[in-house]
Amino acid sequence: MVEPHMVRAETMAQIRALPRSARPVVVCDVDEVILHMIAPMETYLAERGLRFLTPEHKLTGNIAPVEEDTPLEGDIVRRYIRDFFDEHVHAQDLVPGANVALRRLSAHFDIVLLTNLPGSANKPLRIELLKRFDIDYPLITNSGPKGGAVSVLAAGRRGPIVFIDDSPVNQDSVAASLPSAVRIQFIADPRFRAAHTPADHIHLLTGDWDETTRFIEAILAGEIRL
């Protein structure tokens, strides 16, 4: 069983800087949810003679040289990930409908973007890229499981509290730290989504922003009770 996670100090400082609000909130990841991550990462890896071994939702233990089946060591993978975020985020494109959906949901919810990044210096690059797609909501950077951060973001708010993220680790963390949250696992890449079996605590597995919006609005209207 996953234990509740505490929020990191650097993440807490960013959350405390947000205006206080009692509105419902959508806490939304960025990579593979708002911006495509897997496809541009595949291109980046291929240019370096690397590939994903399987459509399994992880990076460490799943990247290897093209002609080999032995995955690279974790520290090497982390260096490639950092380089991608430092130099190649411009290759990330919008997941269709994400900007329209978030704008529509913002009529009833605060929108907070919560993303794991390998370094705080990447935050301005990420904000600039999102603004290019007309997505301009508070961006909180985090490291590690997100349950603690989501719990703090939910404090003092009326429901529903909606969490949208592709990562099974982050979904498990939120389920442990804030069981009342609506948990939507959004995986934009159809290959990786089809290969994934969601945990029992996932309320919706999707890669479609229209479906996501309808689901959240139905919960808000009381048409779906979880």
Instruction: Kindly give the confidence (pLDDT) of every residue in the chain, 226 residues in length, as a single tens digit, with 9 standing for 90 and above.
Output: 576 788 889 999 999 999 999 999 999 999 999 999 999 999 999 999 999 999 988 889 999 999 999 999 999 999 999 899 888 888 899 999 999 999 999 999 999 999 998 766 678 889 999 999 999 999 999 999 999 999 999 999 998 999 999 999 999 999 999 999 999 999 999 999 999 999 999 999 999 999 999 999 999 999 988 8
Task: Kindly state whether residues 114 and 206 are assigned to the same domain.
Answer: yes
d(CA 52, CA 186): 20
- Site of tokens 């009326």: 158
Task: Kindly state whether residues 210 and 99 are assigned to the same domain.
Answer: yes
pLDDT of residue 45: 96
Task: Kindly state whether residues 110 and 185 are assigned to the same domain.
Answer: yes
Residue 52 lies in a domain: yes
Task: Kindly state whether residues 177 and 112 are assigned to the same domain.
Answer: yes
Give 187-191 contacts, CB < 8 A, sequence gap 24+.
Answer: 187/32, 187/57, 188/32, 188/33, 188/36, 188/37, 188/38, 188/95, 189/32, 189/36, 189/38, 189/39, 189/55, 191/55
Task: Kindly state whether residues 97 and 130 are assigned to the same domain.
Answer: yes
CA dihedral 149, 154, 155, 157 (to 10 degrees): 160
Q: Structure pTM?
A: 0.96
Task: Kindly state whether residues 164 and 202 are assigned to the same domain.
Answer: yes
Which domain range does residue 43 map to?
A: 38-91
